[in-house]
Structure 1
Amino acid sequence: MKQTIALLTYLVKWTLLSIPVAVLAGSLVALFLWLLDVATATRHDQPWLLYLLPLAGVGIYFLYKKLGKNAEAGNNLVLEEIHQPGAGVPFRMAPLVLATTVITHLFGGSAGREGTAVQIGGSMSDWLSRLFKLKAEDRRMLLMCGIAAGFGAVFGTPLTGAVFAMEVLAVGMMRYDALVPCLAASVFADIVCSEWGIHHTQYLVTTPFVKDLGLAGFLLLGKVILMGAGSGLAARLFSTLMHLVKQQAARFIKPGWLIPVVGGTSIIVLCWIVGTRDYIGLGIPGITAAFHTGGADTFSWLWKIVFTVITLAMGFKGGEVTPLFFIGATLGNTLAVMMGAPVDLFAALGFIAVFAGATNTPVACTLMGAELFGTQHILHFAIACFTAYYFSGKSGIYSAQRMTLPKNR
């Protein structure tokens, strides 16, 4: 009886604590997504804004230098505070990253949304933990709720958001004690975001699932494994270049405000070289097109890696995940054409598998496939994500992520 009462008390406590996190994170994410739409539309209507990208980068640099302090660490600060509580996640992180991400997109940087949403959730949850005077362990749990709420709301994938928050902290370990709090926070935040009138992009996979134990079934399975391996290698390339470019820029480009000037100028020059602006911004039209035959150029995925690495490693703000979706979907399109596989299915596989490899979260990404594309291909989703996880190497895009168990013993 005592155990039952304790369990019910725990569930009620964390459901009640998750609600304010969800309301704040879901509302701010809704505002953020609306502002992103406005910024993207404005950039399309005023293409000359791209030429102000270096100046915008300087503005972002001085905003963080003046106001950012430890908020500059971004997602890694949130993860570190869960591992080892310290000075906390500052309240200013949320408005600062929201504003600078919108600026990045308005002037043509190639960035995503997840990083901003996670930082919003982490900042709000840490503020609430201080307001409620929670002890250290409960503060860790509420920070995980903030990650789940931000992620679930920004992509409209509440189940993925919950599992991502538990899986991203450490490679080889999940915090199952946070399952109910994270799920409650993610679900409520997604509802709140939707109630503000935010709608998420819909992707369609029409290829039917056939459980064929014959030659055709084994051939498709082999192609899915190759797709997963290619996605893992693409994720490894992305992560390696992100860390390398950031280190080398800080080493060789002085003073610090000159780094975003070089980065912004490089983006402008690259747009001239490739003759298109398809690789700046979120790249949602490119992702959608990749689900159709002829919807992606052979090296679209590589160009998106270059544009995104320069943007994020050289001082601009935003997330990595939506660009990873672009990279994966276009890579899937390319490999599907080469191997004679279903284009829409392989675009979906790349979409989630590159993300799985870059973040070391194969379970969350498998569930994302089910939430975004339906459950009929969940076996193929799992195979691609798990394969990408092994091929992506030891590190990922989050330097604060800990290695609890090696991928290969």
Structure 2
Amino acid sequence: MNTREDLPGIVRNGVYFVRWTLISLLMGTVCGLVGTAFGFGVAYSQQFFRENPFMLFLMPVSGILIVLVHKALDQVGNKGTNLILESISSTEQIRFSTLPCIFISTILSHLTGASAGKEGAALQIGGCIGNTLGGLFHMDERDKKVAIMSGMSGCFGAIFGTPLAASMFGMEVISVGVAYYAALVPCVFSAFIGSFISSRLGLHGEAFTILHVPEFSLKPAALIVLLALLGAFVSVCFCILLHEVQKLYKAKLQNVYARILTASALFIGLSLVFGREYCGAGFNLVEAAMEGNVPYEAFLLKMLFTAVALGGGFKGGEIVPTLAVGATMGAAFGNFLGFEPSLCAACGMLALFAGVTNCPVATIFMGFELFGFEGMKYFALAVSVSFALSGYYGLYSSQKFTYSKTRTEFINRKAH
């Protein structure tokens, strides 16, 4: 080892660390503040919807307002989270108007009970913040991509309260098989700073209790593997449903106003027939699933409600509805077999998330942060099996599969 020859590299690494630490402090702070404002806005919108049932019937009004906001901010045709992924993997540009557009549109969606999440919006907001700060600091294209990833992690951590998962998700979601470890320090620092600021300001993340975790042995492990097989299948079906419903809306109704009004009418009709339990993001269903109190068909109905709302133009993202679908599917599986519904709900949630996002490491971290470490062996089984068997489908069509899931070979293809 030649210490003298290694010194330039050590100095470069030190400069990198100091530079990105300072940038991450600013990034995490901005993401924490903006994320907190957004999180409280969504929370108050959800609460207002629960306390005022008539808001469901104002869904067409909120839909029209969402379209008008997109037109006013020149965001009609915005690709959503796909735009953020493409800005990292290619030369796609993010405009600052993306931030207020998705901020306002998501709150309007939740105000009238649309089945939509908030984490997809958080990724877009964080990516926009990262891109803006990258421009202010005159970063080159490579550094700006790192800034976008750290912004995604910072805002995701602030809003969802899972900094470990947020740290990995920002690096892992773009290209399956390749994690952008050059962004490790910025993503980790931004996620933890953003999460810390939001928690100090009173925005706390979700956490759930598994009622009983059986001792790890062959029979319960085999049942969790079976659940993961089902989770992989449902994740593929969910991705196909979301994409095909969106295509159907666009094929049959080329006018954006007609699309969102049709989606509103269909959603209101579904709510009147099946109940309002399937409105909103879906954490109410997750809580019920953890207690084993969900009907067998709940996961199918949540999939349908989500596809109708998001496909028609309502905003917020698919992540929390995905968790709700997974939890209710898992609880139904556990109830049917008489095996630990709350553990099955947790593993079902993680299996679905891994299947639709193709981010196994982030998913395992999320399991630890949402449910604790006691069920970690079962979480690892559920995530690995679902990830391997869910194929090349995903929520985000711009996500790239750099390497095969099942063979050590380069494939470089986009998600279905």
Q: Bin the TM-score by the shorter chain.
A: over 0.9
Does the CA-based 8 Å contact 1:223-1:339 persist in structure 2? no
| Structure 2 partner of 1:4 | 10
Does the CA-based 8 Å contact 2:157-2:194 persist in structure 1? yes
| Structure 1 partner of 2:179 | 174
| Structure 1 partner of 2:67 | 61
Q: Does 1:41 align with 2:47?
A: yes
Find 1:197's aligned residue among 185, 198, 202.
202
Q: What is the distance in 1 between the residues matched to 2:74 and 2:53? A: 30
Does the CA-based 8 Å contact 1:205-1:344 persist in structure 2? yes
**Aligned partner letter, 1:279:** Y
Does the CA-based 8 Å contact 2:146-2:183 persist in structure 1? yes
| Structure 2 partner of 1:16 | 22
Q: CA deviation at 1:3?
A: 2.5
Q: CA deviation at 1:115?
A: 0.9
| Structure 1 partner of 2:284 | 285
Q: CA deviation at 1:209?
A: 4.9
Alignment of 1:355-394 (within 5 A): 355-394=353-392
Q: CA deviation at 1:65?
A: 2.5
Question: With structure 2 as the length reference, what TM-score do the two structures score?
Answer: 0.94
**Aligned partner letter, 1:186:** A
Does the CA-based 8 Å contact 1:58-1:258 persist in structure 2? no
Alignment of 1:324-363 (within 5 A): 324-363=322-361
Q: CA deviation at 1:18?
A: 1.1
| Structure 1 partner of 2:308 | 310
- SS of alignment partner, residue 357 of structure 1: helix
**Aligned partner letter, 1:105:** H
State the Cα deviation string for residues 72-95 of structure 1 (Å, max 9, x = none).
111111110101123x21111111
58-67 or 191-200, which moves further after superposition?
58-67
- SS of alignment partner, residue 396 of structure 1: coil
- SS of alignment partner, residue 122 of structure 1: helix
| Structure 1 partner of 2:413 | none
Q: CA deviation at 1:278?
A: 0.4
State the Cα deviation string for residues 19-54 of structure 1 (Å, max 9, x = none).
221111111111111111211121122111111112
Q: What is the distance in 1 between the residues matched to 2:238 and 2:167? A: 25
Q: CA deviation at 1:5?
A: 2.1
| Structure 2 partner of 1:130 | 135
**Aligned partner letter, 1:290:** A
Does the CA-based 8 Å contact 1:100-1:317 persist in structure 2? yes
| Structure 1 partner of 2:297 | 299
Q: What is the distance in 1 between the residues matched to 2:276 and 2:117? A: 16
Q: What is the distance in 1 between the residues matched to 2:153 and 2:204? A: 19
| Structure 1 partner of 2:85 | 79
State the Cα deviation string for residues 93-150 of structure 1 (Å, max 9, x = none).
1111011101001012100011111111011111111100001110011011011112
CA RMSD of aligned residues (A): 1.4
Q: Give ranges in structure 1 of 5+ residues lacking alignment.
A: 212-216
**Aligned partner letter, 1:78:** I
**Aligned partner letter, 1:260:** I
Q: CA deviation at 1:255?
A: 2.2
**Aligned partner letter, 1:24:** V
Does the CA-based 8 Å contact 2:176-2:399 persist in structure 1? yes
- SS of alignment partner, residue 116 of structure 1: helix
Query: For this pair of structures, how many residues does the alignment match?
Result: 401
Does the CA-based 8 Å contact 1:227-1:332 persist in structure 2? yes
Q: What is the distance in 2 between the residues matched to 1:116 and 1:393? A: 25
Does the CA-based 8 Å contact 2:214-2:220 persist in structure 1? no
- SS of alignment partner, residue 230 of structure 2: helix
Q: What is the distance in 2 between the residues matched to 1:155 and 1:56? A: 25
Q: What is the distance in 1 between the residues matched to 2:255 and 2:13? A: 56
Find 1:25's aligned residue among 31, 54, 59.
31
**Aligned partner letter, 1:54:** P
State the Cα deviation string for residues 370-404 of structure 1 (Å, max 9, x = none).
11111122121111011111232212000110111
Q: CA deviation at 1:205?
A: 1.4
Does the CA-based 8 Å contact 1:71-1:77 persist in structure 2? no
Q: CA deviation at 1:177?
A: 1.8
Q: What is the distance in 2 between the residues matched to 1:188 and 1:54? A: 38
Q: CA deviation at 1:221?
A: 1.0
Find 1:118's aligned residue among 109, 123, 126.
123
- SS of alignment partner, residue 200 of structure 1: coil
State the Cα deviation string for residues 195-246 of structure 1 (Å, max 9, x = none).
21112232001323524xxxxx211111111111111111111110111111
**Aligned partner letter, 2:21:** T
Q: What is the distance in 2 between the residues matched to 1:143 and 1:181? A: 10
364-373 or 57-66, which moves further after superposition?
57-66
| Structure 2 partner of 1:239 | 239
Q: What is the distance in 1 between the residues matched to 2:255 and 2:90? A: 32
Question: With structure 1 as the length reference, what TM-score do the two structures score?
Answer: 0.95
Does the CA-based 8 Å contact 2:126-2:151 persist in structure 1? yes
Does the CA-based 8 Å contact 1:279-1:307 persist in structure 2? yes
Q: CA deviation at 1:265?
A: 0.5
Find 1:152's aligned residue among 137, 154, 157.
157
**Aligned partner letter, 1:10:** Y
Q: CA deviation at 1:153?
A: 1.5
**Aligned partner letter, 2:58:** L
- SS of alignment partner, residue 278 of structure 2: coil
**Aligned partner letter, 2:91:** P
Q: What is the distance in 1 between the residues matched to 2:123 and 2:256? A: 26
Q: CA deviation at 1:70?
A: 6.9
